[in-house]
A = this chain, B = another copy of it.
């Protein structure tokens, strides 16, 4: 059947100034507005409403020309069978809980304002299948359910700590509304799972779009909450954005680990594919929290402030 292989990607670079505690550094940084990547994908029409597709997507760090040294195609490497029933997707991919968490970040879960910068798995464990999972089978609902969407995923652990994952997301998007809820758990030991719950939504009032999400993670007695509200305001070919996150960590040996994250930004679209942007981000760490907007070589950030500003260009193809 008909072939349609597509080469696609993004190169995003910004001049960036980061001050973590007293340490200052100016550098050139990748991924301020969108994650730099290179991918190959295609869909084949098999007839009778059935389609097959593949997707290989590699991270690229254009500031230094590096690729992902541990997983070259680490962003996604999947094969799919699609039809009226929805989509069955096999391979490495982003998991439903992470998709739900990132969906309502007005900064697109990248750069110095990325809500992921203030999200960490509980201390003392590694969760291999946290944002993405190897060896996953994922089922997506079809697109004709009156705005209802969602997916269910399981990942085979294959002996890797936190690699065994099971989760799902259910949402509804219609007109200005988009809401979803997601839950997932990773096996850490035979008796203990890492659990993650996310609920979020957005409403587009045209003059302003507001977004909010709430996440709860749990492992043994460690219970962390991450709340974000954001807004974007279109302005001609541009867009103003602002976001605030509150991180609330409870339980565990280091109970006092709260933080506040605040960011504003402006994106100036030169075309659908190319944009200039600037972002300012700020994180205030309490107690033992040591989040940073970006690593700049500073150590011992416990309880200290981190802030940064960037000016960059994002080009997609």
A residues touching B (Cβ–Cβ < 8 Å)?
1, 3, 5, 7-9, 11-15, 25-28, 38, 40, 42, 44, 46-47, 50, 52-54, 56, 60-67, 69-79, 81, 90-92, 134-137, 155-156, 158-159, 270-274, 297, 312-315, 317
Contacts and interface: CB of A to CB of B under 8 A. Distances in A.
Copies in the complex: 3
Task: Give the one of A8, A11, A91 with max B CB within 10 A.
Answer: A11
A44 B317 contact: yes
Contact of A71 (B11, B66, B81, B159): B66
Contact of A75 (B15, B65, B313): B65
Contact of A79 (B7, B13, B74, B270): B13
Contacts of A54: 9, 11, 315, 317
26 contacts: A5-B7, A9-B40, A13-B79, A13-B90, A13-B91, A15-B137, A25-B158, A28-B90, A38-B56, A44-B271, A44-B273, A44-B315, A46-B274, A52-B274, A52-B315, A60-B77, A62-B73, A62-B77, A63-B77, A63-B92, A64-B71, A64-B135, A65-B72, A65-B76, A90-B312, A90-B313
A281 to B, nearest CB: 19
B137 A28 contact: yes
A273 B1 contact: yes
Nearest to A25: B158
A42 B273 CA distance: 12
Contacts of A65: 71-77, 91-92, 134
A102 B62 CA distance: 24
A81 B13 CA distance: 12
Contacts of A27: 135, 156, 158
A156 B24 CA distance: 13
Contacts of A79: 11-13, 62, 313-315
A50 B135 CA distance: 44
Contacts of A81: 313
Contacts of A15: 90, 137
Contacts of A28: 90-91, 134-137, 155-156
A150 B63 CA distance: 22
Contacts of A61: 77
Contacts of A13: 78-79, 90-91
Contacts of A3: 273, 317
* List of 7 A-B pairs having minimum Cβ-Cβ separation, nearest first: A67-B72, A28-B135, A62-B77, A65-B92, A64-B134, A13-B90, A65-B73
Contact of A273 (B52, B74, B92): B52
B159 A92 contact: no
A38 B55 CA distance: 11
Nearest to A42: B317
